[in-house]
Amino acid sequence: MAVKIGVLALQGNVSEHIDAFRLALKKTGQEASSEVFEVRHPADLAGCNALAIPGGESTTISRLIDKNHMYEPIRSFPGGIFATCAGMVLMATQVDDTRIHSLGLIEMKVDRNAFGRQRESFEADLPIKELKGDPFHAIFIRAPVATIIGTGVTVLYRMDQGIVAVEYGKYMALSFHPELSCDTRLHERFLKNLGI
């Protein structure tokens, strides 16, 4: 099966997401029949099975989504969405910052920068029960958390500060940066949930 994965390339960790998805596809034996590429315009979404919304600066990404006329095309995108850090903020129905025009695709309330500023960034090993093997080494950079979730949203991991990983149907939202590690288990789980 040919797989097309787009990475929203307006701001943030774009190349890291491309590399991580290529590695995940390689590990699942689908590299040869797959394509991972940058998405900047609505037409770029045509034929995509999945879209990654990377970490970055959530207010900037929100503004650029509107500027590039991507808001409605992403909201109506029929494929899966893999969102990290700022991407998690954008997926929420409620955000603690009125400057952000969130996509409202996962019923949750998200607090931006819940762990503090850049200097409070940290790493932690998360024993995510849905992943086999060792705990997932997560990198948190000015990370958000979900404080309230709606019906049907599955919590993959919760810390004292709040929820840092969720799934909702064909969507996965993470407050940390799995694309910065060599561990592709969350990318692989996302693809498996889409039937890829």
Active site members: 85, 177, 179
pLDDT reported for residue 1:
66
Amino acid at 71: Y
pLDDT tens-digit series, residues 3-14: 999 999 999 889
The token duo for 137 is 């080494």
Mean pLDDT of 71-99: 96
Q: What is the CATH number of the domain that holds 134?
A: 3.40.50.880
Number of domains into which the chain is organized: 1
Residue 121 has pLDDT above 80, yes or no: yes
125 forms beta bridges with 137
Residue 178 has pLDDT above 80, yes or no: yes
pLDDT reported for residue 31:
82
Q: What are phi and psi of 118, to 5 degrees?
A: -55, -40
Question: What's the domain range around 19?
Answer: 3-193
Average pLDDT, the chain: 94
Helix (H, G, I), strand (E, B) or coil at 26: helix
**How many CB atoms are closer than 10 A to CB 129?**
8
Q: How far apart are CA 90 and CA 69, in angstroms?
A: 15
167 forms beta bridges with 154, 172
Residue 84 has pLDDT above 90, yes or no: yes
**How many CB atoms are closer than 10 A to CB 100?**
21
Residue 76 has pLDDT above 80, yes or no: yes
